[in-house]
């Protein structure tokens, strides 16, 4: 079976300094891959390149048949297929501060997928419940704890049902008990057939919950 995500010799330079040099990795459906390495080694940069939030200078990225080429980031109108394929959970969650947890999740359902409000809310409520934050649906982001905010952010990224989920340092703000719970959640998602690429410097979490670890070095 072909890989869901192929990163082939990806290179990113800032001001002629190499941030990423020839990174290659693959993520298959149902697989959890941890991208490991110390801070500043380019883990987040790699995720951002896959999500087309930043340009890269060399190499190739293919997500389920959709290829990104080196050079400037294409306009959003040409990235529609990619947006359907990739979900990204930011390190600081970046929940929309002016929307409730529920509305954070329904936003893409209603305005990208064109679902009616009632359908979107049904889907979002189920999603939040499956991530054990169903009771927080009407809370504002500022009222959520770190763990709750992360689950809502995962629900938001999963709402359009992308096959590939990227997560940036998901354990950064979690206590040990929450880490195990997160690991269980991720395993559950992979069992649904999704591919997960997790950028982390948490060795223990990576060893405990990832199928494969890709080590980045300076």
Partner 1 sequence: MKKSIGLALCLSATLGAQSASRRELVWGGDAEGGAPFVEADPADPSRVRGFDVEIAERIARALGRQAARFVQVQWSSIDQSVERGDFTLGLSGVEDTPVRRARHAVTIPYFEFREVLAVRPEDAGRIHGLADLRGRRVATLGATMAYDMLVAARDSTGLIPLSYDDDVHPYADLVAGRVDAVLLDHIIAQRALRRAGGSGRGFVILAQPVALGHYVGVLARADSVLRDSVDAVLREAMRDGTLEQIFRRWNVWDQSQGALFERVLRIGRAAKAAGAPTSFQIVAYLPSLARAAAVTLLVSILSMALAVIVGLALASARVYGPGWLRVATTLYVELIRGTPLLLQLFVIYYGLAGVVRLPAFLAAVLALGLNYAAYEAEIYRGALDAVPRSQLEAARTLGLSELQILRLVRGPQALRFALAPMTNDFVALLKDSSLVSVITVVELTKQTAIYATNIGSWVIPGALCAAVYLAMSLPLARLARRLERRWRPAA
> Shortest gap between Cβ of 113 and partner 1 (angstroms)?
9
> Shortest gap between Cβ of 71 and partner 1 (angstroms)?
18
Binding mask 65-104 for partner 1 (x = CB under 8 A): -----------xx--x--xx-xxx-x-x-xxxxx------
Nearer CB in complex with partner 1: 5/206: 5
- Rounded Cα distance, 4 and 12, in Å: 22
Task: Please report whether residue 172 would count as binding partner 1 according to CB under 8 A.
Answer: no
Size of the site for partner 1 (CB under 8 A): 27
How many of the other CB atoms lie within 10 Å of CB of 64? 19
Going from the C-alpha of 87 to that of each of 14, 17, 80, 90, 139, the distances in angstroms are: 25, 28, 12, 10, 23
- Rounded Cα distance, 126 and 146, in Å: 21
Going from the C-alpha of 199 to that of each of 17, 47, 60, 143, 182, the distances in angstroms are: 21, 8, 19, 26, 14
Nearer CB in complex with partner 1: 142/217: 142
Pick the binder of partner 1 from 19, 108, 197, 206 (CB under 8 A).
Answer: 108
> Shortest gap between Cβ of 165 and partner 1 (angstroms)?
11
> Shortest gap between Cβ of 58 and partner 1 (angstroms)?
23
> Shortest gap between Cβ of 51 and partner 1 (angstroms)?
5
Pick the binder of partner 1 from 30, 70, 146, 160 (CB under 8 A).
Answer: 160
Task: Please report whether residue 59 would count as binding partner 1 according to CB under 8 A.
Answer: no
> Shortest gap between Cβ of 10 and partner 1 (angstroms)?
18
Nearer CB in complex with partner 1: 65/81: 81
What are the two backbone dihedrals, phi and then psi, of residue 72, each rounded to the nearest 5 degrees?
A: -60, 155
Residue with tokens 């060795």: 203
Helix (H, G, I), strand (E, B) or coil at 14: strand
Contact present, 136 and 101 (Cβ < 8 Å): yes
Q: Nearest to residue 87, comparing CAs of 184, 173, 154?
A: 154
Positions in the binding site for partner 1 (CB under 8 A): 51, 53, 76-77, 80, 83-84, 86-88, 90, 92, 94-98, 107-108, 111-112, 141-142, 156-157, 159-160
């Amino acid at each position: 079976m072909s890989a869901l995500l192929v990163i082939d010799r990806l290179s990113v330079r800032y001001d002629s300094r190499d941030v990423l040099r020839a990174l290659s990795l693959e993520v298959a459906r149902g697989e959890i891959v941890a991208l490991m390495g110390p801070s500043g080694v380019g883990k987040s940069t790699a995720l951002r390149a896959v999500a087309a939030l930043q340009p890269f200078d060399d190499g190739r990225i293919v997500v389920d048949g959709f290829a990104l080429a080196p050079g400037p980031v294409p306009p959003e109108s040409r990235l529609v297929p990619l947006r359907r394929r990739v979900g990204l959970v930011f390190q600081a969650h970046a929940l929309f501060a002016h929307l409730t947890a529920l509305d954070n999740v329904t936003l893409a359902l209603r305005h990208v997928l064109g679902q009616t409000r009632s359908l979107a809310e049904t889907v979002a409520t189920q999603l939040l419940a499956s991530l054990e934050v169903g009771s927080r649906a009407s809370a504002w982001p500022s009222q959520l704890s770190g763990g709750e905010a992360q689950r809502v952010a995962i629900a938001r990224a999963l709402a359009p049902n992308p096959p590939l989920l990227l997560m940036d340092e998901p354990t950064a703000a979690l206590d040990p008990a929450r880490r195990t719970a997160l690991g269980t959640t991720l395993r559950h998602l992979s069992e649904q057939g999704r591919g997960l690429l997790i950028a982390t410097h948490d060795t223990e979490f990576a060893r405990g919950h990832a199928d494969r670890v890709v080590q980045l070095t300076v």
